[in-house]
Chains A and B, each alone.
Chain A
Amino acid sequence: MYSQGLIGAKTDTGEDEAFLAAFQARIDAEEKIEPNDPMPDGYRKTLVRQIGQHAHSEIVGMLPEGNWITRAPSLRRKAALLAKVQDEGGHGLYLYSAAETLGVSREQMTEELLSGKAKYSSIFNYPTPTWADIGAIGWLVDGAAIMNQIPLCRCSYGPYARAMIRVCKEESFHQRQGYEIMMTLARGSDDQKEMAQDALDRWWWPSLMMFGPHDSESQHGDQSMKWKIKRFTNDELRQKFVDATVPQAEFIGLKIPDPELKWNEEKGGYDFGAIDWDEFWRVVKGGGPMNRQRIEARRKAWEEGAWVREAALAHAEKRKARRAAAKMAAE
Protein backbone atom coordinates (compact mmCIF):
# COMPACT_ATOMS: atom_id res chain seq x y z
CA MET A 1 0.00 0.00 0.00
CA TYR A 2 2.61 2.50 1.09
CA SER A 3 4.89 0.87 -1.44
CA GLN A 4 2.84 2.12 -4.42
CA GLY A 5 5.65 4.64 -4.91
CA LEU A 6 8.16 1.82 -5.23
CA ILE A 7 6.62 0.71 -8.48
CA GLY A 8 9.40 0.62 -11.06
CA ALA A 9 12.00 1.47 -8.42
CA LYS A 10 15.32 -0.34 -8.44
CA THR A 11 16.28 -2.29 -5.36
CA ASP A 12 19.73 -3.10 -6.80
CA THR A 13 22.37 -2.91 -4.26
CA GLY A 14 26.12 -2.67 -4.85
CA GLU A 15 27.49 -4.62 -1.87
CA ASP A 16 29.45 -7.86 -2.02
CA GLU A 17 27.91 -11.26 -1.32
CA ALA A 18 29.41 -11.65 2.15
CA PHE A 19 27.99 -8.33 3.34
CA LEU A 20 24.54 -9.12 1.95
CA ALA A 21 24.58 -12.61 3.46
CA ALA A 22 25.55 -11.27 6.90
CA PHE A 23 22.76 -8.71 6.69
CA GLN A 24 20.25 -11.34 5.60
CA ALA A 25 21.30 -13.54 8.53
CA ARG A 26 20.45 -10.72 10.96
CA ILE A 27 17.06 -10.27 9.26
CA ASP A 28 16.37 -14.02 9.35
CA ALA A 29 17.21 -14.04 13.07
CA GLU A 30 14.47 -11.38 13.50
CA GLU A 31 17.01 -8.83 14.70
CA LYS A 32 15.85 -5.24 14.32
CA ILE A 33 18.02 -3.00 12.14
CA GLU A 34 18.77 0.35 13.79
CA PRO A 35 19.78 3.67 12.14
CA ASN A 36 23.56 3.40 12.48
CA ASP A 37 23.78 -0.31 11.67
CA PRO A 38 25.40 -1.34 8.38
CA MET A 39 22.70 -1.99 5.78
CA PRO A 40 22.61 -2.54 2.00
CA ASP A 41 22.02 0.57 -0.03
CA GLY A 42 18.94 -1.01 -1.61
CA TYR A 43 17.43 -1.61 1.84
CA ARG A 44 18.03 2.01 2.81
CA LYS A 45 16.61 3.35 -0.47
CA THR A 46 13.53 1.13 -0.32
CA LEU A 47 12.79 2.27 3.23
CA VAL A 48 13.37 5.96 2.50
CA ARG A 49 10.88 5.76 -0.34
CA GLN A 50 8.34 3.65 1.49
CA ILE A 51 8.41 5.55 4.79
CA GLY A 52 8.46 8.86 2.91
CA GLN A 53 5.43 7.83 0.87
CA HIS A 54 3.70 6.63 4.02
CA ALA A 55 4.36 9.99 5.73
CA HIS A 56 3.14 11.92 2.67
CA SER A 57 -0.01 9.78 2.65
CA GLU A 58 -0.79 10.75 6.23
CA ILE A 59 -0.28 14.44 5.49
CA VAL A 60 -2.18 14.51 2.18
CA GLY A 61 -4.80 12.29 3.84
CA MET A 62 -5.71 15.23 6.08
CA LEU A 63 -7.11 17.11 3.06
CA PRO A 64 -10.15 15.04 1.98
CA GLU A 65 -11.41 14.90 5.57
CA GLY A 66 -10.39 18.42 6.50
CA ASN A 67 -12.91 19.38 3.83
CA TRP A 68 -15.74 18.44 6.25
CA ILE A 69 -14.54 19.71 9.63
CA THR A 70 -16.47 22.98 9.44
CA ARG A 71 -19.59 21.22 8.14
CA ALA A 72 -19.76 18.19 10.45
CA PRO A 73 -23.41 17.58 11.40
CA SER A 74 -22.94 17.80 15.19
CA LEU A 75 -20.44 18.96 17.77
CA ARG A 76 -19.69 15.30 18.66
CA ARG A 77 -18.87 14.48 15.04
CA LYS A 78 -16.86 17.66 14.65
CA ALA A 79 -14.71 17.05 17.75
CA ALA A 80 -14.04 13.46 16.62
CA LEU A 81 -13.16 14.45 13.06
CA LEU A 82 -10.88 17.23 14.25
CA ALA A 83 -9.09 14.77 16.55
CA LYS A 84 -8.78 12.25 13.74
CA VAL A 85 -7.31 14.73 11.28
CA GLN A 86 -4.92 15.94 13.99
CA ASP A 87 -3.86 12.31 14.52
CA GLU A 88 -3.10 11.96 10.80
CA GLY A 89 -0.83 15.00 11.08
CA GLY A 90 0.90 13.41 14.07
CA HIS A 91 1.29 10.11 12.22
CA GLY A 92 2.93 11.95 9.34
CA LEU A 93 5.41 13.47 11.77
CA TYR A 94 6.30 10.13 13.45
CA LEU A 95 6.96 8.73 9.98
CA TYR A 96 9.02 11.67 8.71
CA SER A 97 11.16 11.26 11.84
CA ALA A 98 11.62 7.55 11.09
CA ALA A 99 12.66 8.34 7.49
CA GLU A 100 15.07 11.03 8.69
CA THR A 101 16.99 8.43 10.71
CA LEU A 102 18.03 7.02 7.30
CA GLY A 103 19.77 10.24 6.33
CA VAL A 104 17.13 12.04 4.27
CA SER A 105 16.06 15.55 5.35
CA ARG A 106 12.51 16.75 5.96
CA GLU A 107 13.03 19.55 3.42
CA GLN A 108 14.14 17.07 0.77
CA MET A 109 11.10 14.85 1.34
CA THR A 110 8.77 17.84 1.19
CA GLU A 111 10.34 19.04 -2.04
CA GLU A 112 9.96 15.58 -3.57
CA LEU A 113 6.28 15.50 -2.66
CA LEU A 114 5.64 18.95 -4.13
CA SER A 115 7.56 18.22 -7.33
CA GLY A 116 5.64 14.98 -7.85
CA LYS A 117 8.79 12.86 -7.55
CA ALA A 118 7.52 11.19 -4.37
CA LYS A 119 4.12 9.52 -4.36
CA TYR A 120 1.41 9.18 -1.74
CA SER A 121 -1.39 6.65 -1.51
CA SER A 122 -3.66 6.74 -4.58
CA ILE A 123 -6.77 6.75 -2.39
CA PHE A 124 -6.41 10.41 -1.40
CA ASN A 125 -6.93 11.54 -4.97
CA TYR A 126 -10.67 10.90 -4.73
CA PRO A 127 -13.09 13.68 -3.74
CA THR A 128 -15.32 13.85 -0.64
CA PRO A 129 -18.57 15.44 -1.90
CA THR A 130 -20.86 14.20 0.92
CA TRP A 131 -20.74 13.69 4.69
CA ALA A 132 -21.07 9.93 4.14
CA ASP A 133 -17.62 10.03 2.54
CA ILE A 134 -16.19 10.79 5.97
CA GLY A 135 -17.85 7.62 7.26
CA ALA A 136 -16.60 5.60 4.29
CA ILE A 137 -13.03 6.88 4.65
CA GLY A 138 -12.85 6.02 8.35
CA TRP A 139 -14.40 2.61 7.86
CA LEU A 140 -12.78 1.51 4.58
CA VAL A 141 -9.65 3.59 4.06
CA ASP A 142 -8.51 3.50 7.68
CA GLY A 143 -9.62 -0.13 7.83
CA ALA A 144 -7.38 -0.95 4.87
CA ALA A 145 -4.57 1.11 6.38
CA ILE A 146 -4.79 -0.82 9.67
CA MET A 147 -4.72 -4.12 7.77
CA ASN A 148 -1.50 -2.97 6.15
CA GLN A 149 0.06 -1.31 9.18
CA ILE A 150 -0.34 -4.10 11.73
CA PRO A 151 2.26 -6.31 10.02
CA LEU A 152 4.48 -3.22 9.61
CA CYS A 153 4.75 -3.14 13.43
CA ARG A 154 7.05 -6.14 12.92
CA CYS A 155 9.04 -4.53 10.10
CA SER A 156 12.77 -5.24 10.31
CA TYR A 157 13.68 -1.55 10.52
CA GLY A 158 13.37 -0.50 14.19
CA PRO A 159 12.32 3.16 13.89
CA TYR A 160 9.63 2.32 11.30
CA ALA A 161 8.28 -0.57 13.40
CA ARG A 162 8.13 1.62 16.52
CA ALA A 163 6.32 4.43 14.67
CA MET A 164 3.81 1.86 13.39
CA ILE A 165 3.07 0.58 16.89
CA ARG A 166 2.11 4.09 17.94
CA VAL A 167 0.08 4.67 14.78
CA CYS A 168 -1.83 1.40 15.13
CA LYS A 169 -2.76 2.16 18.75
CA GLU A 170 -4.27 5.46 17.66
CA GLU A 171 -5.80 4.34 14.39
CA SER A 172 -8.44 2.01 15.80
CA PHE A 173 -10.62 4.95 16.87
CA HIS A 174 -10.52 6.27 13.30
CA GLN A 175 -12.11 3.17 11.87
CA ARG A 176 -14.71 2.93 14.61
CA GLN A 177 -15.78 6.57 14.25
CA GLY A 178 -16.15 6.04 10.49
CA TYR A 179 -18.20 2.89 10.88
CA GLU A 180 -20.41 4.62 13.46
CA ILE A 181 -21.12 7.41 10.94
CA MET A 182 -22.04 4.83 8.27
CA MET A 183 -24.20 2.89 10.72
CA THR A 184 -26.07 6.02 11.78
CA LEU A 185 -26.73 7.00 8.16
CA ALA A 186 -27.69 3.43 7.17
CA ARG A 187 -30.29 3.37 9.95
CA GLY A 188 -31.57 6.87 9.15
CA SER A 189 -34.00 8.18 6.52
CA ASP A 190 -34.13 6.79 2.98
CA ASP A 191 -32.04 9.73 1.78
CA GLN A 192 -29.40 9.11 4.44
CA LYS A 193 -29.24 5.42 3.64
CA GLU A 194 -28.87 6.25 -0.05
CA MET A 195 -26.03 8.64 0.78
CA ALA A 196 -24.23 5.90 2.76
CA GLN A 197 -24.67 3.40 -0.09
CA ASP A 198 -23.43 5.95 -2.63
CA ALA A 199 -20.27 6.55 -0.57
CA LEU A 200 -19.64 2.80 -0.27
CA ASP A 201 -20.15 2.45 -4.04
CA ARG A 202 -17.52 5.11 -4.73
CA TRP A 203 -14.93 4.07 -2.10
CA TRP A 204 -15.05 0.28 -2.33
CA TRP A 205 -12.91 -0.27 -5.40
CA PRO A 206 -10.37 2.48 -4.70
CA SER A 207 -9.97 0.94 -1.21
CA LEU A 208 -9.13 -2.45 -2.75
CA MET A 209 -6.65 -0.70 -5.06
CA MET A 210 -4.87 0.74 -2.01
CA PHE A 211 -3.16 -2.62 -1.48
CA GLY A 212 -1.30 -2.21 -4.77
CA PRO A 213 -0.91 -4.40 -7.88
CA HIS A 214 -1.42 -8.16 -7.90
CA ASP A 215 1.51 -10.13 -6.53
CA SER A 216 2.25 -11.38 -10.04
CA GLU A 217 2.78 -7.76 -11.19
CA SER A 218 4.73 -6.57 -8.19
CA GLN A 219 8.46 -7.18 -8.74
CA HIS A 220 10.07 -5.44 -5.80
CA GLY A 221 7.67 -7.23 -3.43
CA ASP A 222 9.90 -10.30 -3.25
CA GLN A 223 12.92 -8.35 -2.07
CA SER A 224 10.85 -6.42 0.49
CA MET A 225 9.47 -9.71 1.82
CA LYS A 226 12.98 -11.18 2.03
CA TRP A 227 14.21 -8.15 3.97
CA LYS A 228 11.08 -8.37 6.16
CA ILE A 229 10.04 -4.83 5.34
CA LYS A 230 6.77 -6.43 4.25
CA ARG A 231 5.32 -9.48 5.97
CA PHE A 232 2.37 -10.20 3.68
CA THR A 233 1.89 -9.78 -0.03
CA ASN A 234 -0.53 -7.25 -1.57
CA ASP A 235 -3.04 -9.95 -2.49
CA GLU A 236 -2.94 -11.58 0.95
CA LEU A 237 -3.70 -8.26 2.66
CA ARG A 238 -6.43 -7.41 0.14
CA GLN A 239 -8.11 -10.77 0.79
CA LYS A 240 -7.98 -10.21 4.57
CA PHE A 241 -9.56 -6.80 4.10
CA VAL A 242 -12.42 -8.12 1.95
CA ASP A 243 -13.11 -10.97 4.37
CA ALA A 244 -13.23 -8.58 7.35
CA THR A 245 -15.28 -5.87 5.65
CA VAL A 246 -18.07 -7.73 3.84
CA PRO A 247 -19.81 -8.86 7.06
CA GLN A 248 -19.54 -5.31 8.44
CA ALA A 249 -21.40 -4.00 5.37
CA GLU A 250 -24.05 -6.71 5.73
CA PHE A 251 -24.52 -5.81 9.40
CA ILE A 252 -25.63 -2.29 8.53
CA GLY A 253 -27.61 -3.35 5.46
CA LEU A 254 -25.32 -1.86 2.80
CA LYS A 255 -24.44 -3.66 -0.40
CA ILE A 256 -20.85 -4.12 -1.61
CA PRO A 257 -20.84 -2.90 -5.26
CA ASP A 258 -19.48 -6.14 -6.70
CA PRO A 259 -21.87 -8.59 -8.44
CA GLU A 260 -19.17 -11.25 -8.43
CA LEU A 261 -18.63 -11.16 -4.68
CA LYS A 262 -19.31 -14.66 -3.32
CA TRP A 263 -18.30 -16.69 -0.27
CA ASN A 264 -15.90 -19.47 -1.21
CA GLU A 265 -16.26 -22.23 1.35
CA GLU A 266 -13.20 -24.06 0.12
CA LYS A 267 -10.75 -21.20 0.58
CA GLY A 268 -12.59 -19.83 3.61
CA GLY A 269 -12.79 -16.35 2.10
CA TYR A 270 -14.69 -14.28 -0.43
CA ASP A 271 -14.12 -14.38 -4.17
CA PHE A 272 -14.41 -10.92 -5.67
CA GLY A 273 -14.55 -9.27 -9.09
CA ALA A 274 -11.71 -7.88 -11.17
CA ILE A 275 -10.13 -4.57 -10.18
CA ASP A 276 -9.92 -1.83 -12.81
CA TRP A 277 -6.15 -1.56 -12.96
CA ASP A 278 -6.29 1.08 -15.69
CA GLU A 279 -7.94 3.38 -13.19
CA PHE A 280 -5.33 2.50 -10.56
CA TRP A 281 -2.41 3.35 -12.86
CA ARG A 282 -4.11 6.53 -14.04
CA VAL A 283 -4.50 7.75 -10.45
CA VAL A 284 -0.99 6.66 -9.38
CA LYS A 285 0.47 8.53 -12.34
CA GLY A 286 -1.30 11.75 -11.42
CA GLY A 287 -4.54 11.51 -13.42
CA GLY A 288 -6.96 11.00 -10.51
CA PRO A 289 -9.84 13.41 -9.92
CA MET A 290 -8.03 15.32 -7.15
CA ASN A 291 -4.26 14.90 -7.77
CA ARG A 292 -3.76 18.50 -8.86
CA GLN A 293 -5.77 20.04 -6.03
CA ARG A 294 -4.03 17.93 -3.38
CA ILE A 295 -0.54 18.98 -4.43
CA GLU A 296 -1.67 22.57 -4.91
CA ALA A 297 -3.01 22.61 -1.35
CA ARG A 298 0.29 21.23 -0.01
CA ARG A 299 2.33 23.70 -2.04
CA LYS A 300 0.18 26.60 -0.82
CA ALA A 301 0.66 25.51 2.81
CA TRP A 302 4.42 25.16 2.30
CA GLU A 303 4.88 28.47 0.49
CA GLU A 304 2.57 30.50 2.69
CA GLY A 305 4.25 29.06 5.78
CA ALA A 306 7.73 30.02 4.59
CA TRP A 307 7.74 33.39 6.37
CA VAL A 308 6.72 31.72 9.64
CA ARG A 309 9.62 29.26 9.43
CA GLU A 310 12.04 32.07 8.57
CA ALA A 311 10.75 34.32 11.34
CA ALA A 312 10.98 31.51 13.93
CA LEU A 313 14.59 30.80 12.96
CA ALA A 314 15.49 34.52 12.96
CA HIS A 315 13.88 34.90 16.40
CA ALA A 316 15.85 31.91 17.73
CA GLU A 317 19.08 33.41 16.37
CA LYS A 318 18.33 36.77 17.97
CA ARG A 319 17.63 35.21 21.37
CA LYS A 320 20.79 33.14 21.16
CA ALA A 321 22.85 36.27 20.35
CA ARG A 322 21.26 38.19 23.23
CA ARG A 323 21.97 35.41 25.68
CA ALA A 324 25.59 35.29 24.53
CA ALA A 325 25.92 39.07 24.90
CA ALA A 326 24.40 39.03 28.40
CA LYS A 327 26.78 36.24 29.42
CA MET A 328 29.77 38.19 28.14
CA ALA A 329 28.65 41.32 29.99
CA ALA A 330 28.28 39.33 33.22
CA GLU A 331 31.79 37.85 33.01
Chain B
Amino acid sequence: MPKNQIPLWEVFIRPRNGLAHKHCGSVHAADEVMALQAARDVYTRRGEGTSIWVVPSSAITASDPENKDENFEPALSKVYRHPTFYDIPDDVGHM
Protein backbone atom coordinates (compact mmCIF):
# COMPACT_ATOMS: atom_id res chain seq x y z
CA MET B 1 0.00 0.00 0.00
CA PRO B 2 1.44 3.42 -0.93
CA LYS B 3 2.45 5.52 2.06
CA ASN B 4 -0.21 8.22 1.78
CA GLN B 5 -3.12 5.77 1.54
CA ILE B 6 -5.43 5.46 4.50
CA PRO B 7 -5.87 1.79 5.52
CA LEU B 8 -9.08 -0.14 4.80
CA TRP B 9 -11.12 -1.82 7.56
CA GLU B 10 -13.92 -4.35 7.24
CA VAL B 11 -16.96 -3.55 9.36
CA PHE B 12 -19.08 -6.15 11.20
CA ILE B 13 -22.25 -5.20 13.04
CA ARG B 14 -24.37 -7.05 15.60
CA PRO B 15 -27.95 -6.01 14.85
CA ARG B 16 -29.10 -6.87 18.37
CA ASN B 17 -28.14 -9.03 21.31
CA GLY B 18 -28.32 -12.72 20.59
CA LEU B 19 -27.30 -12.38 16.92
CA ALA B 20 -23.84 -12.74 15.43
CA HIS B 21 -21.83 -9.82 14.06
CA LYS B 22 -22.35 -9.69 10.32
CA HIS B 23 -20.18 -8.13 7.65
CA CYS B 24 -21.79 -4.97 6.30
CA GLY B 25 -19.08 -3.06 4.42
CA SER B 26 -15.79 -1.27 4.81
CA VAL B 27 -14.32 2.11 5.77
CA HIS B 28 -10.98 3.85 5.42
CA ALA B 29 -9.40 5.09 8.65
CA ALA B 30 -5.94 5.83 9.99
CA ASP B 31 -6.37 3.70 13.12
CA GLU B 32 -8.85 1.46 14.94
CA VAL B 33 -10.35 4.30 17.00
CA MET B 34 -11.20 6.34 13.91
CA ALA B 35 -12.34 3.20 12.09
CA LEU B 36 -14.92 2.54 14.81
CA GLN B 37 -16.14 6.13 14.68
CA ALA B 38 -16.40 6.09 10.90
CA ALA B 39 -18.20 2.71 10.95
CA ARG B 40 -20.70 4.09 13.44
CA ASP B 41 -21.41 7.14 11.25
CA VAL B 42 -21.57 5.24 7.96
CA TYR B 43 -23.36 2.03 8.93
CA THR B 44 -25.58 2.72 11.97
CA ARG B 45 -27.54 5.90 11.21
CA ARG B 46 -30.87 4.12 11.75
CA GLY B 47 -30.31 1.91 14.75
CA GLU B 48 -28.85 -0.96 12.72
CA GLY B 49 -26.62 -2.19 15.51
CA THR B 50 -25.72 -2.57 19.15
CA SER B 51 -22.06 -3.48 18.63
CA ILE B 52 -19.40 -2.94 15.95
CA TRP B 53 -16.22 -4.83 15.08
CA VAL B 54 -13.62 -3.38 12.74
CA VAL B 55 -10.88 -5.60 11.32
CA PRO B 56 -7.97 -4.50 9.09
CA SER B 57 -8.87 -5.77 5.61
CA SER B 58 -5.27 -6.95 5.23
CA ALA B 59 -5.83 -9.37 8.16
CA ILE B 60 -8.49 -11.35 6.31
CA THR B 61 -7.58 -14.56 4.51
CA ALA B 62 -10.15 -15.61 1.93
CA SER B 63 -10.72 -18.84 0.04
CA ASP B 64 -9.88 -18.68 -3.64
CA PRO B 65 -12.97 -18.62 -5.89
CA GLU B 66 -10.97 -20.77 -8.33
CA ASN B 67 -11.16 -23.60 -5.78
CA LYS B 68 -14.89 -23.19 -5.28
CA ASP B 69 -15.74 -26.61 -6.69
CA GLU B 70 -13.20 -28.66 -4.79
CA ASN B 71 -14.01 -26.81 -1.58
CA PHE B 72 -17.77 -26.88 -1.62
CA GLU B 73 -19.02 -29.36 -4.16
CA PRO B 74 -18.35 -32.49 -2.01
CA ALA B 75 -21.07 -31.36 0.42
CA LEU B 76 -23.73 -31.32 -2.30
CA SER B 77 -23.79 -35.11 -2.76
CA LYS B 78 -24.13 -35.90 0.95
CA VAL B 79 -27.88 -35.66 1.24
CA TYR B 80 -27.81 -38.11 4.19
CA ARG B 81 -26.56 -35.21 6.31
CA HIS B 82 -30.07 -33.75 6.19
CA PRO B 83 -33.02 -34.96 8.32
CA THR B 84 -35.33 -35.25 5.30
CA PHE B 85 -33.16 -38.11 3.94
CA TYR B 86 -34.63 -40.55 6.48
CA ASP B 87 -38.09 -42.10 6.08
CA ILE B 88 -39.96 -42.18 9.36
CA PRO B 89 -43.70 -43.05 9.36
CA ASP B 90 -46.03 -40.13 10.20
CA ASP B 91 -47.50 -42.26 13.00
CA VAL B 92 -44.32 -41.84 15.01
CA GLY B 93 -45.23 -38.20 15.46
CA HIS B 94 -42.90 -35.24 15.38
CA MET B 95 -39.23 -36.17 15.42
Contacts and interface: CB of A to CB of B under 8 A. Distances in A.
A312 B5 contact: no
Interface stretch (B20-28, B72-80, B83-91): B20-28
20 contacts: A36-B65, A37-B65, A83-B45, A90-B41, A93-B27, A93-B42, A94-B25, A106-B28, A107-B4, A170-B45, A170-B46, A309-B4, A312-B6, A312-B29, A312-B30, A312-B31, A313-B4, A313-B30, A315-B30, A315-B31
A107 B64 CA distance: 27
Interface in A280-331: 309-310, 312-313, 315-316, 319
**CB-based closest 7 A-B pairs:** A312-B30, A316-B31, A316-B30, A313-B30, A97-B26, A36-B65, A93-B42
A37 B66 CA distance: 8
Contacts of B41: 86, 90
A97 B62 contact: no
Given A36-B64, A87-B45, A309 B8 contact: no
Contacts of A248: none
Nearest to A90: B42
A162 to B, nearest CB: 8
Nearest to A106: B28
A312 B34 contact: yes
Given A86-B45, A90-B45, A94-B25, A105 B5 contact: yes
Contacts of A83: 45
B25 A319 contact: no
Interface of A: 34, 36-37, 83, 86-87, 90, 93-94, 97, 100, 105-107, 163, 170, 309-310, 312-313, 315-316, 319
Given A36-B64, A94-B25, A312-B34, A100 B8 contact: yes
A93 B6 CA distance: 14
B37 to A, nearest CB: 11
A37 B64 CA distance: 9
Contact of B5 (A97, A107, A163, A319): A107
A36 B67 CA distance: 12
A90 B48 CA distance: 14
A246 B43 CA distance: 35
B70 to A, nearest CB: 16
A316 B25 CA distance: 22
Looking at A34, A90, A97, the one whose CB has the most chain B CB atoms below 10 A away is A97
B38 to A, nearest CB: 8
Contact of B31 (A94, A170, A309, A319): A319
A313 B62 contact: no
B45 to A, nearest CB: 6
Nearest to A83: B45
A86 B65 CA distance: 36
